[in-house]
Amino acid sequence: MFDALTDRFEGIFSRLRGKGRLSEDDVDEVLREIRLALLEADVSFTVVKGFVARVRERTVGAELSAALNPAQQVIDIVHQELIATLGGETLRITYAPKPPTVVLMAGLQGSGKTTTSAKLARWFKAQGRNPMLVGADLQRPAAIEQLRTLGRQVDVPVVSRDDAIGGEGGDPVEVASRAISEARRLGRDVVIVDTAGRLSIDAELMEQVRRIAEVTQPHYTFLVVDAMTGQDAVTTAENFHATLELDGVILTKLDGDARGGAALSVKEVVGRPIAFASNGEKLADFDLFHPDRLAGRILGMGDVLTLIDKAKEHFDEQQAEEAAARLLEGQFTFEDFLEQMQQVKKMGPISGLIGMLPGVPKELRNQEIDDRELGRVEAMITSMTVEERRRPDIIDGSRRARIAGGSGVSVTEVNALLDQFRQMQKMMKGFGMAPRRSKKGKKGKKGGGRTTPKGGRPNAAKGGKGKGGPGLPGLPGDPLGTGGPGGDGGFRLPGL
């Protein structure tokens, strides 16, 4: 969503290099381009005006420090102001001393409110809470059934009309009120009330949501807005806030290709922070909104903290350490690689992970990487026998033809995978990090350290020095084939 804005900022800052002092003319030129970049990103004019004024005040006459050049100083100032514009700090959720904590969800129809309610319930479960979903949208056909289906997927109970609390038909206000009592009876400490949406804001909607808020006394009232609607999202938030006293905004579809001005405008225009962000269709694609992380991504600094969080969530620490040790000892097999690759796939699209890495060139960051290529590699590995995965050196011509036929690829692709895997093994052993015996040892004895890999596997490859370095978890070496300093390209998945 912010790729175009990131590209504009990179172009602006690259022209500042080499200046020892920032004059007012330099600042004016930079701020003019920043203003245009933000306006083209559909950021509110009043927000842009205030942002540019604050940056100007801090940059005029800025001296070149011992550690930072002018471009770095401007980036630092813009980074800080972007964080402030996006909300400053991540919202900290506190819970009611006397459960349940009530969360009221409001929004226009089509903004993704019902799905977001289920995502929020899943998030609360991950925090060790016991949430319950309440279907108070009694107007949209199948809204309750949709919520029940989502509730089963995240293993969270759903109550609504036609349950014991609401009776046949039911009134949304009565359903919401009785659901709070039901949550206390069941010992649920978080209640998420999904209310009805409309195609446009009208008096009936506002009155219904206001009455539900009166009887439920929510601790948090979140407005769900579609980030792809641009400034309309900000206008919607203003109108809802006038009626409901919002505590925060939840932005959906942040993974879309719209310009993203809503995210940069909501806090300053409405006066309420972005609480959560949804960046995908899966129920797991949801988390607290971190202004500092998004600001870093907009400026091309990457988002290492989010990448680490994803790795912690999907990787088993002990397994990862064991795999790393076997990799450096030259005992890393296709079974290990398949295990790591499957965990990487759980973290999301490869292109998204690459975008979180700092210092990635624009050409690589904007490159479309087909995740189906990982499926092709996985198919080739699973078409091997257990012995072939542990000892790739035994795979001869007939075995390669069989693997190619079983995985639906060509023999050439199988050859490429085997060659690159062998190259990666040699490269890692060439690091010199594996324990080695002294030259005074017995004649004919080489190497040292571990001799039997995980599960009693025999050595899969023999040494040989190489160059390069490790890449992403599960993608050893240089997964994109870019090559390191003095390297020869490293390990690269076929087709990537």
Region 163-174: what's the mean pLDDT? 65
339-385 pLDDT tens trace: 777 777 776 666 666 666 655 555 555 566 666 777 888 899 999 99
Between residues 300 and 408, the one the model is more confident about: 408
Region 323-335: what's the mean pLDDT? 70
Q: Is 65 exposed, middle or buried (0-12, 13-18, 19+ CB in 10 A)?
A: exposed
Determine the Cα–Cα distance for residues 361 and 364; give it in Å rounded to an integer: 5
pLDDT score, position 403: 92
Q: Residue 418 above 50 pLDDT?
A: yes
Considering the four listed CATH numbers 3.40.50.920, 1.10.3720.10, 2.40.30.10, 1.10.260.30, the one that applies to the domain covering 316-456 is: 1.10.260.30
Region 162-166: what's the mean pLDDT? 56
Given a contact cutoff of 8 angstroms between Cβ atoms, the answer to whether 245 and 220 are in contact is: no
pLDDT band at 334 (very low <50, low <70, confident <90, very high): confident
113-150 pLDDT tens trace: 899 999 999 999 999 999 999 998 888 778 889 999 99
Give me the torsion for CA of 130, 135, 141, 147, rounded to 10°.
Answer: 0
Q: Residue 79 above 80 pLDDT?
A: yes
pLDDT score, position 355: 61
pLDDT band at 430 (very low <50, low <70, confident <90, very high): low
Which of 56-60, 88-92, 93-97, 277-281 is predicted most confidently?
93-97
Determine the Cα–Cα distance for residues 358 and 301; give it in Å rounded to an integer: 5
**Count helices and strands in the chain by DSSP H and E runs:** 20, 8
pLDDT band at 492 (very low <50, low <70, confident <90, very high): very low
pLDDT score, position 227: 79
Determine the Cα–Cα distance for residues 476 and 169; give it in Å rounded to an integer: 58
Between residues 158 and 88, the one the model is more confident about: 158
Residue 262, classed as helix, strand or coil, is helix
Q: Which CATH class is domain 101-289?
A: alpha beta
Which of 37-51, 152-166, 385-399, 480-494 is predicted most confidently?
385-399
Q: Residue 61 above 70 pLDDT?
A: no
Domain ranges, ordered by start, for the chain: 3-86, 101-289, 316-456
Q: Residue 272 above 70 pLDDT?
A: yes
- The per-residue DSSP string of 288-303 comes to E--HHHHHHHHTT---
Given a contact cutoff of 8 angstroms between Cβ atoms, the answer to whether 191 and 179 are in contact is: yes
At the fourth CATH level, the homologous superfamily of domain 3-86 is: SRP54, nucleotide-binding domain (1.20.120.140)
